[in-house]
């Protein structure tokens, strides 16, 4: 069967058939419903739904190379939770996933060969999806696949791709491996391969709905969606969690959870004092939620961790405090204790100075002279 995959002519013959989706057990009606939902997710006018349908229907399924580097596979797992369309549809019908370590049947040499074939035959046309950061320390030995370093693979694959989608915060900005002291010199794709066309989909893990929406955008419009200053698509990262949060009225009202399991916690009050990082995080969790919109951290009683922001492992921790620790002080020392100490020390110093000055005689000025 492996030989069959070489046979691209056959693939071309069955492209563009009207009954493509019906063949795969998806009714026309369901399909258009999906396209409408997709245009909503992408914040596009509903009138664009037919255009999305057209893009998905033509059988020029783009090839995808899904690379895993310093990852925990959480983003691949997230993809398995995709519902609109499901992972089965994505893998079989929407895309041609030619390389993805976690799900592919082939292994070893055969797996690597499949990747190289796609790169050679579809250079500049395939989509690279990257999960996990790229270590640059120790000549790249911290992550090797098939004996090649992650950096080398990323340069090859991302460099030759139409576009690279980084899924998760590790591939976008370095993520947890890049957290201080960054033992392996880990970095995100854009930093490791500056020449590549990259769109960042941070989150720990990525919200699979945003990944699907980005791919559909790319297929429909032939270009990547508009991004913010951190390379993230505006349709998913254009608003702050805090400004979209279902518990915002309790924040404005002045009702806060003070201890886990207290009455305020049970009644769904604001988690601001429990260290929620919603006020400093841009992501569409409150509206898109997770696992087919079942829940998101705040709805289930735990504060936001700020996982879609660069370097959140260092800047957003400690998790359960509003402000980061002040460098050089212990973890129990907050900015306020330091500030109060500073104010008290100032007051004490000037108090002493005042007493000394009061007993000091004959130091009066002779008065300012006009010059």
Partner 1 sequence: MAKIVVDPITRIEGHLRIQAEVNGGQITDAWSSSTMFRGIEKILKGRDPRDAWYFTQRFCGVCTTVHSIASIRAVENALNVKIPLNAELIRNLIIGIQVVQDHVIHFYHLHALDWVDVVSALKADPSKTAALAASLSDWPLNSPTYFKAVQDKVAAFVKKGRLGPFANAYWGHPAYKLPPEANLMATAHYLEALDWQREVIKIQAILGSKNPHPQTFLVGGMAIPVDPNSQNALNADKIAEIGQLLKKAKEFVEKVYIPDLLAVASFYKEWAGIGGGVGNYMSYGEYPLDNSGKPEKLWFPQGIILGKDLSRVYPIDQKKITESVAHSWYEGGDAGVHPWDEQTEAKYTGPKPPYDMIDTNQKYSWVKSPRYDGKAMETGPLATILVAYASGHKGAKGAVDLVLGKLGVGPEALFSTLGRTAARGIETLLVAQELPKWLDMLVANVAGGDLAIHNGEKWDPATWPAEAAGYGWHNAPRGALGHWIRIKDQKIANYQAVVPSTWNASPRDEKGQRGPYEAALVGTPMADPNKPLEILRTIHSFDPCLACAVHLVDPNGGELLSVKVL
Partner 2 sequence: MADHKACLYEKYVWEVPVRVTHWVNMLSIVVLAVTGIIIGSPRTLGLSGSDYVMGWVRFVHFTAAYAFAVSVAARIWWMFRGNRYARWREFFPVISSGGRARLWETFKYYTFLNKKAPHEVGHNAVAASAYSLVFLLYIVMALTGFSLYAEHRPGSLMHVVMTPLYTLFSNQGMRLTHHMVMWLLIGFVINHIYSIWLMDIKERGGVVSSIFSGYKAVQRKE
Q: Please identify which residue in 68, 156, 209, 309 interacts with partner 1, judged by CB under 8 A.
A: 68
CB closer to partner 1, 333 vs 346: 333
What string marks each residue from 99 to 128 as x (binds partner 1 by CB under 8 A) or -?
-xxxxxxxxxxxxxxx--------------
Residue from 23, 54, 243, 246 touching partner 2 (CB under 8 A): that is: 243
Q: Are 284 and 248 in contact (CB under 8 A)?
A: no
* Cα three-residue angle 307-79-23, rounded to 5 degrees: 155
Written as one string, the DSSP assignment of 176-237 is: GGGSTT-TT-EE-HHHHSTTS-EEEE-SSS--HHHHHHHHHHHHHHSSPPPB-TTS-BHHHH
Q: Which of residues 247-276 bind partner 2 (CB under 8 A)?
A: 249-256, 258, 264, 269, 272-273
Among 85, 202, 231, 297, binds partner 1 (CB under 8 A): 297
Among 145, 227, 326, 335, binds partner 1 (CB under 8 A): 145
- φ and ψ at 64, to 5 degrees? -125, 135
**What part of residues 305-364 is at the interface with partner 2 (CB under 8 A)?**
306, 309-311, 314-316, 322-324, 326, 335-336, 338-340, 342-343, 346-347, 350, 353-354, 356-357, 360, 362-364
Structure tokens at 59: 């059988």
User: What is the distance between the alpha carbons of residues 140 and 152, in angstroms, rounded to a whole number?
Assistant: 8
CA distance 166 to 175: 12
Q: How many residues bind partner 2 (CB under 8 A)?
A: 60
248 lines the binding site for partner 1 (CB under 8 A): no
Q: Tell which one of 33, 51, 239, 265 touches partner 2 (CB under 8 A).
A: 239
Alpha carbons within 13 angstroms on the beta-carbon side of residue 53 total 22
Distance CA 337, CA 212 (A): 46
Q: Which 3 state secondary structure label does DSSP give 139?
A: helix
Q: Identify which of 70, 84, 329, 102 has the alpha carbon closest to the alpha carbon of residue 209.
A: 84
Pairing of strands 163-167, 198-201: parallel
Judged by CB under 8 A, the residue of 111, 280, 287, 302 near partner 2 is: 280
Contact 282, 238 (CB under 8 A): yes
Chosen from partner 1, partner 2, none, partner binding at 139 (C-beta under 5 to 8 Å by type): partner 1
Is residue 328 close enough to count as binding partner 1 by CB under 8 A? no
- For partner 1, which stretch binds (CB under 8 A), given 46-54, 67-75, 226-234, 339-347? 67-75
Among residues 72, 227, 326, 335, which is the contact residue for partner 1, using CB under 8 A? Answer: 72
Interhelix angle 28-41/208-221, nearest 10 degrees:
100
9 touches partner 2 (CB under 8 A) = no
Residue in 309, 299, 337 with CA at minimum distance from that of residue 321: 337
- From 219-227, 230-238, 289-297, 361-369, span contacting partner 1 (CB under 8 A): 289-297
**Rule CB under 8 A: which residues touch partner 2?**
228-229, 234, 238-240, 243, 249-256, 258, 264, 269, 272-273, 277, 280-282, 306, 309-311, 314-316, 322-324, 326, 335-336, 338-340, 342-343, 346-347, 350, 353-354, 356-357, 360, 362-371
């Amino acid at each position: 069967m492996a030989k069959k995959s070489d046979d691209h002519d056959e693939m071309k013959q069955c492209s563009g058939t009207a009954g493509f989706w019906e063949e795969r057990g998806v009714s026309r009606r369901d399909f258009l419903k999906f396209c409408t939902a997709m245009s909503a997710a992408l914040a596009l006018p509903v009138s664009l739904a037919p255009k999305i349908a057209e893009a998905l229907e033509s059988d020029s399924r783009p090839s995808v190379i899904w690379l895993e580097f310093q990852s925990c596979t959480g983003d691949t797992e997230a993809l398995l939770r995709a519902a609109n369309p499901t992972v089965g549809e994505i893998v079989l019908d929407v895309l041609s996933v030619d390389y993805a370590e976690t799900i592919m049947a082939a292994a070893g040499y055969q797996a690597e060969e499949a990747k190289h074939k796609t790169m050679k035959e579809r250079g500049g046309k395939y989509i690279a999806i990257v999960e996990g950061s790229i270590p640059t320390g120790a000549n790249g030995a911290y992550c090797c696949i098939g004996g090649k370093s992650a950096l080398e693979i990323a340069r090859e694959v991302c460099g030759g791709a139409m576009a690279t989608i980084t899924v998760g915060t590790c591939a976008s900005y370095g993520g947890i491996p890049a957290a201080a002291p960054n033992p392996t010199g880990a970095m995100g794709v854009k930093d490791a391969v500056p020449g590549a066309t990259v769109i960042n989909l941070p989150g720990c893990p990525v919200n699979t709905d945003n990944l699907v929406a980005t791919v559909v955008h790319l297929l429909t419009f032939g270009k990547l969606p508009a991004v913010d200053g951190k390379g993230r698509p505006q349709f998913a990262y254009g608003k702050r969690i805090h400004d979209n949060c279902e518990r915002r009225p309790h924040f404005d009202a002045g009702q806060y959870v003070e201890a886990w399991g207290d009455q305020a916690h049970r009644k769904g009050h604001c988690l601001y004092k429990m260290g929620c990082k919603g006020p400093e995080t841009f992501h569409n969790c409150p509206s898109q939620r997770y696992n087919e919109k079942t829940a998101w951290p705040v709805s289930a009683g735990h504060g936001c961790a700020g996982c879609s922001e660069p370097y959140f492992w260092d800047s957003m921790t400690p998790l359960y405090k509003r402000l980061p620790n002040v460098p050089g002080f212990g973890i129990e020392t907050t900015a306020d204790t330091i500030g109060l100490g500073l104010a008290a020390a100032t007051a004490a110093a000037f108090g002493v100075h005042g007493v000394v000055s009061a007993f000091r005689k004959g130091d009066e000025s002779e008065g300012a002279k006009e010059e």
